[in-house]
């Protein structure tokens, strides 16, 4: 009899395991591929449905657009022109080439954002200008500010009735950078008037001289007051005096002594003159004076 070999049985078990693992892996791959195939078919079907719906919508929109093009655009009701400057809008026009800071259209009663495809014609602008001029002409309206409002109304009429000016006005509405390149701007900077440099130099020299004079005067006055105080109080150098204050005191004492001596001599002279007058004789009577 043949003996049982355990090594051969172990090999067979391993081979069976490998084969079963390979079959399981193939089954998983097959299932994944089938799932992806079904998913692609579903997405292609949905896309075809969306294309059909989009084509239907496009056709409907094209037909509605054709009908709208054939029909005239609706007319927007224009509000009455306002004489209030707060309703005149705003515009970037610092150099006042057009209507200044106001909107030319709004001055005459139009709004460029609401008229759509029907901008005001020359006839409409003239009609609006005549209605406003009847109301705000200074010969007919004596109210305060009527003249200034009529000037703005006339300027708006001038701009909008000139084809070139109106085209420029419409072009620069949303292009302030191009307006700045063509007309410049007085808002960003302005040149100062020319002045004579010699006048400025003279003014600076005079101001400097006056300042120096008062500064030196104040300094000299402080020193002089200190010297006078030291000379009057006879302060020694240790006490805040100086050689100048000592000399000033000595000179002052000499002058004071000379003045006292002169006063005493004057008193003595006056006293001797009085005694001499008294020794001349008795006083004259009134009769003697009349005889003379």
pLDDT tens per residue across span 111-126 = 878 877 788 899 999 9
pLDDT at 35: 76
Render pLDDT for 227-247 as a digit per residue (tens, 0 to 9): 788 888 888 888 777 888 888
Query: Is the predicted pLDDT of residue 141 greater than 80, yes or no?
Result: yes
Q: Name the DSSP class of 172.
A: G
Location of structure tokens 């001599």: 265
Helix extents (H) in 71-121: 104-107
pLDDT at 72: 47
Render pLDDT for 180-218 as a digit per residue (tens, 0 to 9): 788 776 545 555 667 777 888 888 889 988 999 888 988
Nearest to 80 by CA among 116, 118, 127, 113: 127
Question: Over pLDDT 90: what percentage of the chain?
Answer: 8
Tokens (6 digits) for 27: 């089954």
Query: Is the predicted pLDDT of residue 74 greater than 60, yes or no?
Result: no
> CA end-to-end span of the chain, whole Å?
212
Tell me how far apart the alpha carbons of residues 97 and 51 are, in angstroms, rounded to a whole number.
Answer: 55
Render pLDDT for 50-71 as a digit per residue (tens, 0 to 9): 444 444 444 444 544 444 444 5
Location of structure tokens 């057009």: 98
pLDDT confidence bin for 256, thresholds 50/70/90: confident
The helix (H) or strand (E) run that includes residue 9 is helix 6-70
Query: Is the predicted pLDDT of residue 279 greater than 70, yes or no?
Result: no
The whole model's pTM is what? Answer: 0.39
Helix then strand count (H, E) for the chain reads 9, 0
Cα-Cα-Cα-Cα torsion 211, 213, 214, 220, nearest 10 degrees, comes to 140
The helix (H) or strand (E) run that includes residue 197 is helix 197-232
Burial 235-256 (b: 16+ CB within 10 A, else e): beeeeebeeebbebbeeeeeee
Cβ atoms of 159 and 98 within 8 Å: the answer is yes
Tokens (6 digits) for 94: 């610092």
Tokens (6 digits) for 97: 């080439």
How much is the average pLDDT of 63-88?
57
pLDDT at 157: 92
Q: Range with the lowest mean pLDDT among 90-99, 100-109, 157-166?
A: 90-99
- Count the neighbouring beta carbons within 10 Å of the beta carbon of residue 129: 21
Between these two residues, 174 and 103, which has the higher pLDDT value?
103
| HSE toward the beta carbon, residue 57, CA cutoff 13 A | 6
Query: Is the predicted pLDDT of residue 271 greater than 80, yes or no?
Result: no
pLDDT at 190: 55
Burial 72-104 (b: 16+ CB within 10 A, else e): eeeeeebeebebeeeebbebbbbeeebbeebbb
Tell me how far apart the alpha carbons of residues 69 and 184 are, in angstroms, rounded to a whole number.
Answer: 42
């Amino acid at each position: 009899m043949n003996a049982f070999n355990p090594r051969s049985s172990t090999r067979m078990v391993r081979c069976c395991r490998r084969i079963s693992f390979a079959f399981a892996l193939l089954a998983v791959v097959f299932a994944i591929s089938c799932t992806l195939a079904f998913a692609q078919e579903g997405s292609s079907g949905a896309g075809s449905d969306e294309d059909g719906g989009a084509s239907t919508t496009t056709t409907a929109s094209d037909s509605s657009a054709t009908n709208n093009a054939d029909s005239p655009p609706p007319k927007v009701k224009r509000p009455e022109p306002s004489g209030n400057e707060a309703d005149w809008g705003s515009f970037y026009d610092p150099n006042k080439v057009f209507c200044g800071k106001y909107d030319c259209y709004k001055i005459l009663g139009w709004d460029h954002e609401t008229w759509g495809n029907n901008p005001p014609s020359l006839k409409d602008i003239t009609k609006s200008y005549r209605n406003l001029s009847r109301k705000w002409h200074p010969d007919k309206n004596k109210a305060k500010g009527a003249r200034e409002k009529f000037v703005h109304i006339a300027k708006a009429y001038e701009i909008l009735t000139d084809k070139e000016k109106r085209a420029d006005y419409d072009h620069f509405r949303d292009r302030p950078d191009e307006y700045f390149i063509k007309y410049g701007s007085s808002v960003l900077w302005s040149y100062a008037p020319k002045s004579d440099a010699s006048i400025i130099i003279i003014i600076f020299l005079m101001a400097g001289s006056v300042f120096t004079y008062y500064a030196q005067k104040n300094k000299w006055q402080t020193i002089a007051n200190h010297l006078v105080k030291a000379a009057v109080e006879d302060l020694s150098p240790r006490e805040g005096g100086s050689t100048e204050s000592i000399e000033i005191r000595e000179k002052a004492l000499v002058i004071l002594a000379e003045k006292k001596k002169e006063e005493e001599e004057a008193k003595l002279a006056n006293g001797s003159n009085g005694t001499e007058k008294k020794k001349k004789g008795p006083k004259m009577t009134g009769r003697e004076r009349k005889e003379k």
